[in-house]
Chain A
Amino acid sequence: MAFLELSGVRKDFELVRVVRDFNLDVERGEFISFLGPSGCGKTTTLRMVAGFETPTAGEIRIAGRDVVGLKPNQRNIGMVFQSYALFPNMTVAQNVAFGLKVAGKPRAEIDARVAQMLGIIKLPQLADRYPFQLSGGQQQRVALARALAVQPQVLLLDEPLSALDAKIRVSLREEIRAIQKALGITTIYVTHDQEEALSMSDRIVVMHEGRVDQIGTPFEIYNTPATSFVASFVGTLNRIEGIIADPSAGTVRVGARDVAVASPLGARRAGEQVSLALRPEAVTLAPRPGQDVAIEARIVEVAFLGSVIRVRADIGGATITLDTFNSPASPPPRIGDAVTLHLSSSDWVVLAD
């Protein structure tokens, strides 16, 4: 039995259905991300786990106990908010101690736990500061310590890094993941940032219009997207429309040429329209071992992105974007150059509707 179970969870706000038939099993100590665009229902689902919203239907179980009827303060859940939500009238130490005081823990235990938590977030020297005297990153670390101090069963993080600048986001997400691993706490992390989700999670739940589109490891989500939405939302993607040429041979007609596709075409028949996905990093300008597809193309755009050069090439009827590493020894291709694109037939992903 999973540690946290969401079964058939649904949420309606008056006539609008914001979460539909949400099913998820989370194992103890797992780090799960809810990933999706604004309004896809990820925060609402998180708030239902926290107890701030009541599901219209379905069950939420933590350690086998149905918590739907419990108030938020009865669920033993730690929550970190996007806006930090530190209590402005309390110092850092008082903020971290708040939940322990509410639980009626002895003074010595509270002091020891606060010191331990401030040590974990590496801010013991700021114990007597007020929230307004801290930077955004420091405030969010204190918020994390406060949520963890009460030793919750589940840790919920609602876009905790959204309000921070890019550099701090990267360092803080590594810190959050390290702390989560060290404590082994079951965690749900809401984000619309695919890079955050891919880099931190054991598994990702990609949500779209209130539905779960795919649940999988970052590797699965990125490399084998289950739907066209997942494919387009996670990472940069070439999406090419084609027509099935020969289902038995696994060929699809793209523009004026047939390309071999290793991905199964299922029950599709010849002449049927199909959407193919191809990651930019799967295509190269120079052949690599294992690549069995070569396509003649003409460069139409070159963008220098620092360590990577993004190239767009016309293959006749479609355009393919590819990423190639910047190397000072070999200058990038120029617009108008005729090139050959190399890829493996297994790199094509046939998208479900």
Chain B
Amino acid sequence: MTLDIAFAGIVNGLMSGGIYVLVAVGLTLIYGVLHIINFAHGSMLMLAMYGVYYLFKPPLGVDPYVALPILVAGSFAFGYVLYRGLIGRFSHGKDENILLITLGLSIIADNAALFFFTGDTQTIDVAWAGRFVEVGPALIPMPKLVSFVASLALCAALGLFMAFSDTGKAIRAVAKERQGARLVGIDVENIFAISYGIGIACLGAAACLLMPFFYVSPSSGHAFVLVAFTIVVLGGMGSFAGALVGGLLIGIVESLGGLQFGEQLGQIGIPLVFILILLFRPVGLFGSR
């Protein structure tokens, strides 16, 4: 591998990492507050991607980037209502029940998608998707660059919201001290639903940024969720900064692995990283006990 190719590989990996960061941030946020892995995460991403697809198709013809605010708002509302109406209601306050409900939801969503959308892969053709941007010796497809910049910008916005708004502070407070939160008048169930909604909203954004250069099928969420789970463990469960660094890192690992071992075998780097973290630093890069 020459230096130029390695550089191109790293830049390309970083670009893919943006989407991973966004998906992982949603997963880690939900984990941090609800203390469960959202098993429906991949299925929700898949549904959001179909949302982008059908918004783009005639008669609507909405550009995926124009659709972004719609998808973000819609996904938030969907996640919020889903938590309020179903997950929270049937969990009876037990975290392990939430886990099972999200698993059940993913099974339902995947099979409903198969039934309604069939198993065919669908793509959308955006006029500018074929353009490239030159970064040194690397050529970056335009939609990948956009996805990278937009993902990081959205994460930064979410980070600011978590740091400075009262709702953000309340989310962080609920993550560690529910009873204390109730006693300052925080409606804990509402914060749970908001956190779940934000997690799903991240997927809505990811779907818009992803569709110009990716395909959707009923199973296309799973690939991302496995990667996102690795990132969350790598960065530290519930850690925001961890999801950011971990996402970019995994993007690079995947890209370099692909260069070295070919597109199929290249993915092997990701589970390898996963195992190494579990062996040497189980709390993750930014994790705390």
User: Are the chains A and B members of one assembly?
Assistant: no
Please report A residues at the B interface, Cβ cutoff 8 Å: none
